[in-house]
């Protein structure tokens, strides 16, 4: 019951964040392709942020799937994650409106970094409660993606002051890295479920 | 459990898209019927997009009803569909603000086309996983509506550069085509449920 | 399952409508009580619309509680109701921004009237499917409130062209009429549930 | 069933309020750190309001967890609470846009006070229905936090006309007071659940 409501609330917040972002796509005044082109930086930023939020929803979904006991610290670590994710539409809009100027690109990276850290904290807390033999511990394994991502965000933030396109390329790369299906993890979780169901 | 959360998230996003669109209905400054009339293109576009989103919700609902195993590819194909649907308020607003100018009308059709393609991809993936003997396969049958719609959108997109009203009429026609209850499909799904419940 | 998703989607849309309305409460520029006073018409209209939407959620909740079979016609009648409710923030904003000018006040009434009619249609369809001996039929009884409300809206719409304050008073009166707990209905539904649970 | 839908609706409204607030974070026009600094008052107010809404969600969650019978009066007391919470984005925006001017700071406190009162009413009604031996009664105990908070809000409202920073400090203090985990309450509820499950 408790877990259901935590999931429902997180789903609600993520669904709203992902959809509210589209309000930054301001309707252009002209009616030709050129005026549509002025929306292009917004569109590209929107696609990137949409994918990031979708990845977070997806991973969050799998992680909470394994949780057995919802404690106060899980509730608050989850709120902390939602807080940083809720700022993504702002970061996306500032970056797009200024055609990927250095500081907005760096801020976008800081936002992604904070979200990654808060996700890591949430994961730590769940692991501490459910134990290292838990389903989640097995599923994550060495969590290489989770450890590389913050490092890459940090590199991108520094890069953005020299060449913001390199920073942008790193953001795209990290997104693609997560998009590639991590079949091993999914198998661990669902196999376990399956065998649990068979018992 | 997994399926419930996928449905809940999709419902959330669709509910927000359908409701956020109404924010494009800008409050007119005058207080007479004439100033209300200036909102008419927005109102008509809103009605059309509302119906399209309602149809998608309805069909999405029936399709997911038949899904047994939610895989990573279903999650991502679903996200892809939600992405294109999330752009409908933007397309609706641009079309309405410019009183159905050719390019905005064409873009609206492109948006509908992309949504139809992403829905088709999602359906394909579900069919591939659940098999051709599945409930969904039986329910869809030859899927004539699903195959005609993209063709009609394409024709409408081309039409919009010559006469945008013909394009608009095609959009209305496709919506009406889907609105007409497809009693055969509903029967297949619910009969099956019914007999399953009887067992 | 199907019913759950219909409820969840309706809840989502109603939650968004009720909350989006607050965005019409534009932040005043000054920092004194006078500038806060300029928000008063918005605040009063917001309170009224909030109560109306809360009543609709409440009644909708009780009505769907009794539904056993969700059919395509119920889905579409429900969408029709949500459509008219989704226009309430627009009507509220136009009425408030023009300090209750006649035509905006009339339009607000038309919106309420259409919502009432669409609610009535949804109720009819559910009754037709579940039968006149159904829980809903017993709970509604003669449905006096449901029959008086549209008549009062109509009177208010006509009034608004002569004296809009009379129209406003009627809107407030109808809201209060629904707010008064209808203990008989609640008892019918919950008693029945209770006795069902006891069996 | 009824309780689930009440929780789902409340979650939806709270998720939207918490996320809509971020729309007040207007995108700055410059691209330097200075222009980002202009967003600082909004950011700080956003953090504070986010924490308050998260606390409300958390407590609401625990409180409804104990409810057995959802009556009409609970539904309406809950709506009343959601109404005051829905005004928080407005209060937050007005306070931030005017760099914490006295009257906006006082209004923010009035809003918090009204939310606290409506929460208290909801709690009273639930206690009256479920009885003083109920789980909630045990969990709340003397409810010291719940009784001190309105008093502190009142002091802060008065303070804001002399020194608004003292008022702000009180708002932060109350939030921190609630943030500190109230392990005793959580234990009462979950222990009880646990022993209930063991039976």
Q: Which two tokens stand for residue C158?
A: 């006509």
- pLDDT confidence tier of residue A196, bands split at 50, 70 and 90: very low
Query: What are the tens digits of pLDDT across the range C105-156?
Result: 999 999 999 999 999 999 989 888 877 667 777 777 777 888 899 999 999 9
The answer, for D97 touching chain A at a CB cutoff of 8 Å, is: no
Q: Where do we find the tokens 């809903």?
A: C136
Contact, B24 vs B95, CB < 8 A? no
C129 vs B: CB within 8 A: no
pLDDT at C198 > cutoff 60: no
Provide the 8-state DSSP code for A26: P
Share of chain C above pLDDT 70, in %: 87
> Within an 8 Å CB–CB cutoff, is residue C109 touching chain B?
no
Give the model's confidence band at A4: pLDDT under 50 very low, under 70 low, under 90 confident, else very high.
confident
CB-closest option in C19, C50, C65 to D16 = C19
Full DSSP string of chain D: -HHHHHHHHHHHHHHHHHHHGGGGSPPPSS-SHHHHHTTHHHHHHHHHHHHHHHHHHHHHHHHHHH-----HHHHHHHHHHHHHHHTHHHHHHHHHHTTS-HHHHHHHHHHHHHHHHHHHHHHHHHHHHH-TTSHHHHHHTT-HHHHHHHHHHHHHHHHTTT-HHHHHHHHHHHHHHHHS--HHHHHHHHHHHHHHHH-
- pLDDT exceeds 60 at position C192: no
pLDDT digits (tens, 9 = 90+) for C88-111: 999 999 999 888 999 999 999 999
Nearest to A26 by CA among A46, A48, A50: A46
Q: What is the mean pLDDT of residues B91-96?
A: 92
Closest C-alpha among D31, D38, D26 to residue A104: D31
Phi, psi of D5 (to 5 degrees): -70, -35
Distances in Å between the alpha carbon of C129 and those of B78, B194, C185?
33, 16, 20
Determine contact, residues B167/B105, Cβ cutoff 8 Å.
yes
CB contact under 8 A, C20 and B25: no
Instruction: Please say if the pLDDT value at position C194 is more than 50.
Output: no
Question: Under DSSP, is residue A145 helix (H, G, I), strand (E, B) or coil?
Answer: helix
Judge contact between B12 and A15, C-beta under 8 A. yes
Going C154 to C157 to C162 to C165, the CA torsion angle's sign is positive
The conformational region for residue B141 under phi > 0 = left, psi -120 to 50 = alpha, else beta, is left
Whether residue B19 and residue C23 make contact (CB cut-off 8 A), yes or no, is no
How many CB pairs below 8 Å do chains A and B form together? Answer: 71
Instruction: Give ipTM to 2 decimals.
Output: 0.86
Q: What's the mean pLDDT when you consider all of chain A?
A: 85
Residue D5 forms contact with C (CB below 8 Å): yes
The confidence score (pLDDT) of residue D112 equals 96
Report pLDDT digits (tens) over C53-102.
999 998 888 888 778 778 888 889 999 999 999 999 999 999 998 889 99
């Amino acid at each position: 019951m408790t877990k259901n409501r935590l999931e429902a609330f997180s789903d609600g917040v993520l669904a709203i964040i992902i959809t509210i972002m589209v309000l930054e796509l301001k309707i252009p005044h002209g009616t030709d392709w050129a005026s549509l082109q002025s929306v292009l930086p917004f569109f590209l930023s929107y696609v990137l942020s949409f994918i990031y939020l979708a990845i977070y929803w997806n991973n969050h979904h799998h992680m909470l799937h394994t949780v057995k006991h919802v404690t106060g610290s899980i509730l608050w670590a989850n709120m902390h994650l939602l807080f940083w994710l809720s700022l993504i539409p702002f970061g996306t809009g500032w970056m797009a409106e200024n055609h990927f100027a250095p500081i907005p690109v760096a801020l976008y990276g800081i936002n992604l970094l904070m979200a990654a850290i808060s996700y890591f904290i949430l994961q730590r807390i769940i692991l501490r409660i459910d134990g290292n033999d838990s389903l989640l511990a097995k599923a994550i394994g060495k969590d290489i993606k989770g450890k590389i991502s913050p490092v890459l965000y940090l590199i991108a933030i520094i890069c953005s002051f020299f060449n913001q396109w390199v920073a942008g390329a790193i953001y795209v790369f990290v997104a693609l890295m997560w998009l590639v299906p991590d079949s091993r993890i999914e198998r661990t979780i669902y196999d376990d479920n399956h065998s649990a169901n068979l018992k």
